[in-house]
Amino acid sequence: MLAKFIRSLGYAWSGIRFGIRTQRHVRFHLLAASVVSILASFLSLTRMEWAVLLLTFALVIAAELINTAIEQAVDLASPGQHPVAKAAKDAAAGAVLVTAVTAVIIGLLIIGPPLWHIFMK
């Protein structure tokens, strides 16, 4: 049972590595999360604010990985142009956009006020 669980973790890690290796948007979002984390480390954020930021980062990366999985499956099932394939890919990309825009808003709500205070002194 433990071996099966460990094997499952390996498959999940392979999927994450695939996303990082093949998807420039995954790499962009990881870079953005790193920059925000470095910036936030200089601010006096509460544990709850850190938790919200980390959850937000995770949701964006998860959305990107789900989008990648959908794109790969659609490409396999429908190698040519098809309106249903396009709709599936567009909807998955839309989910990433909603998640990313929400992450930016949350980031601004959390780190915006302390930055404003620092730079507007």
Dist CA 27 CA 19 (whole Å): 8
49 among annotated binding-site residues: no
71 among annotated binding-site residues: yes
Give residue 49's domain range.
2-119
121 among annotated binding-site residues: no
Q: How many domains in the chain?
A: 1
Dist CA 26 CA 32 (whole Å): 10
From first to last of the 121 residues of the chain, give the pLDDT tens digit.
889 999 999 999 999 999 999 999 999 999 999 999 999 999 999 999 999 999 999 999 999 999 999 999 999 999 899 999 999 999 999 999 999 999 999 999 999 999 999 888 7
Catalytic residue status for 49: no
Which of 64, 74, 103, 111 is the catalytic position?
64
Tokens 């790499």, residue located: 27
Answer yes or no: are the C-beta atoms of 26 and 64 closer than 8 Å: yes
Please report, rounded to a whole number, the percentage of residues in the chain having pLDDT higher than 90. 93
| Residue 37's CATH number | 1.10.287.3610
Q: Name the 3-class secondary structure at 78.
A: coil
Convert the pLDDT of each residue in 92-113 to its tens digit. 999 999 999 999 999 999 999 9
